[in-house]
Amino acid sequence: MLVSTKWLQDYVETNGMDPAELAEKITRSGIEVDAVINRSEGLKNIVVGYVKEKAKHPEADKLNVCQVDLGEETVQIICGAPNVDEGQKVIVAKPGARLPGGFKIKKAKLRGEESNGMICSLQELGIEGKVVPKAYADGIFVLPEDAVAGEDALAYLGLDDVVLELGLTPNRSDAMSMLGVAYEVGAILSEDVKLPEISYTESSEKAEDYLKLHVEANDLNPLYVAKVVRNIKVAESPLWLQQRLMAAGIRPHNNVVDVTNYVLMEYGQPLHAFDYDRLKTKEIVVRRAAEGQKIQTLDDQERTLQSHHLVITNGEEPVAIAGVMGGANSEVHEGTTTVVIESAYFNPQSIRQSSKDHGLRSDASSRFEKGVDPNRVIPAAERAAQLLADLADGEVLAGSVIFDELDKSPKNVVVSPDFINNRLGMKIPLEDMTNILERLKFDIEAANGMLYVTVPTRRQDITIEEDIVEEVARLYGYDEIPMTLPEGEAVPGGLTPYQAKRRQVRAYMEGAGLYQAITYSLASTETAQQFALKDAPVTELLMPMSEERSTLRQSVIPHLLEAATYNVARKVDSVALYEIGSVFLGTTADELPNEEEHIAAVITGKWVDHSWQGEQKSVDFYVLKGIVEGLFELLGQSNEVSYQKAVIDGLHPGRTAEVLLSGERIGFIGQLHPSEQKARDLKETYVMELDLAKILNVDVEPLLYTAVPRFPSISRDIAMVVDRAQAAGELESVIRKAGGKLLKEVKVFDLYEGEKMEEGKKSVAFSLNYFDPERTLTDDEVVNAHNKVLEALEQAGAQLRV
């Protein structure tokens, strides 16, 4: 929101306060002022000139030699603007003048002709091209005839002004108008607000005889006001009106459109002007659109409507998308003589949806979707009628055409002074509280130890007791809140068991040689479900920042692969990253998604093997599997974890394994599929992802001290011939189950698939360790236990290799 301080003084007295000081006070009261813009900064020696003569430059077809009266003297200026002409009042930068950017004007010769200054466009004075009237967008600006040659041109242009740029939060929609800001400044400075005086002469003819109104969608449009103004003369707006619109960041068009925009900025109430004759039916019908219906909007785009869009029609076809943009078929033009001024209250959710669907966010829609003041709808229409009568010589027909089912009553909030002070930790006197609320123009009554506050409808953000607390605090002064120590019994802080384990996991991953990454939780629709551990609906954002960030992710891996690709493309050949982050699993119901915490990793390139003199080797499946096994050993879950071969989209079918915890699938480890590696320009790359919440929430028996064994253990090695498809992990499970309590360790130490093996067979060798901590085992006990293992393996289809 851009606020002209000169315009602001029409409504509230600032007592000559420096704009920078005013900005500081506004910021301290809760609305941040992002910038203080001096519109005349860098400008000096800019005056009004009168073009007495114009002649073609003898040596240049596109240049003109102009004789310009500057009041005290007439000088020659060479001008290349296509619209310069005799009899114009123009903006002249005299020799010695400075323009924005430090550009200094000097006397010069252009193609042999002397030039004593420069005739300026608005852009050359630092005004943005997007707000310059289209008639002057490609040339110089022409001042009104009453401008006096030689006088300061900055005053005529309203550039002797300072603009405050407010950074408004969504709840402060009341400050999206000059009157709203005036109420805020009035409360800060303890000044009254002066509302515009509305007075005009009405015609003897009635508006309701010219226009019929039917509101069919009263749930989306509970209040609609139409005023009819005839015999208008569409022309350029007076300079003062153009100045104020440009200061507010709005391009002037003509007096009718400019009046609607002026009232929009003044009251915060969007208006729209229809050409009465172009309506054809002399009727306005507000309804939901027909599915697939078309409308060409004012931006010359044809738009397809949906059945939930609210439209303004002439009873036959749409003439506007309600609250968003008008239609080209009812646009005001130079030949317009009668206009219908629309002022309405539209359902905020309906406008927000229409704006999103059509990709249109206008000054009107941004206000409607936050909720306008219902008690300003009618005054805004009256104000527009007054201005059209004054500036366009219009004749306002008597009365208005109104549909009104809107509750316009203010909200009431009851709060106690003790509640306010307890929340703030202060002792603000009751008198100060009531004074603050009265400065905000809230009606207030103090009785029975309570404050009964009636909140004006312009402040729709005030609904509960805490809102009143905030209003008191910000105007009393956040700086006045004392610094105090907390009261009450002090208790030591600490981490929950889950948090403590998560810190252990993070320390372990970094100790294992991986770097922590933090990536977006948002992904594209195409990648959101890639590598997901569970099958669940995706959750899409209503208003995403981009297509690449439109959907909540269901796996952490895609973003880690993006990070790996980014690093490899910048000559970082070896990448090892991990991330602990959330994934979001949608539900079938219209509810928020379930959020789960996962841990994921990606490794590619070389890996330093610290177990053998720091030797570097290429990453493989077992590097990442070893990291995962170490993690489970750290958490005391090694005996509960198993691995089995898996096929997962995007991963190598022969180098991928599911991770099971107590028989439940909690993740996977695998090599990125060669086609995926090629697409991402990566070498051999391995990834893993685990459901961290399930891992850390497992109850683990506390670690108990085990004495160093005093008795020897006995080892036995066996080699089994099995089918090549047989998983070694399944054989290990058979061995552990059959070995009983004496079998303490089982390890695979060899795999043979050479030429001496039968086709389709392989040899897997295990090392078994038998031990009893209380005594020395006898040979018979070991043989008995070992024979049970061999029998179990034979029953499982394995043959002892001799």
Q: How far apart are CA 101 and CA 104, in angstroms?
A: 9
Say what angle helices 178-189 and 255-267 make with each other, to 10 degrees: 30
CA distance 135 to 723: 86
3-state secondary structure 622-656: HHHHHHHHHHHHHCCCHHHEEEEECCCCCEEEEEE
Q: Is 193 exposed, middle or buried (0-12, 13-18, 19+ CB in 10 A)?
A: middle
Q: Is 495 exposed, middle or buried (0-12, 13-18, 19+ CB in 10 A)?
A: exposed
For the chain, give me the number of helices (H) and strands (E)?
Answer: 19, 43
Q: Say if residue 461 carries a ligand binding annotation.
A: yes
- Is 470 known as a binding-site position? yes
Which residues are within 8 A (CB) of 201 and not within 5 positions of it... i.e. 6 or more apart?
Answer: 389, 396
Residue 388, φ and ψ in degrees, nearest 5: -70, -35
Residues contacting 759, CB < 8 A, separation 6+: none
Q: Residues 86-108, buried b or exposed e (16+ Cβ, 10 A)?
A: eebbbbbbbeebebeeeeebeee
Q: Which residues pair with 683 in a beta bridge?
A: none
570-573 CB contacts, 8 Å cutoff, 24+ apart: 573/605, 573/606, 573/683
Structure tokens at 238: 């007076």
The whole-angstrom separation of Cα 595 and Cα 778 is 55
Task: Say whether 573 counts as a known binding-site residue.
Answer: no
Q: Which amino acid is at 33?
A: V
**Those residues with Cβ within 8 angstroms of residue 784's Cβ, 6 or more apart along the chain or in another chain:** none
Interacting residues of 522 by C-beta distance below 8 A, sequence separation 6+: 541, 544, 545, 549, 550, 551, 552, 553
User: 741: burial class by Cβ within 10 Å (0-12, 13-18, 19+)?
Assistant: exposed
Q: Which residues pair with 341 in a beta bridge?
A: 227, 273
Position of tokens 């996962």? 598
Q: Give the Cα separation of 232 and 441 in Å (integer).
A: 38
- In this structure, what are the phi and psi dihedrals at residue 110, rounded to the nearest 5 degrees? -115, 110
* DSSP at 158: T
CA 169, distance to chain mean position in Å, is 12
Residues annotated within a binding site for Mg(2+) = 461, 467, 470-471
Binding-site residue numbers are 461, 467, 470-471
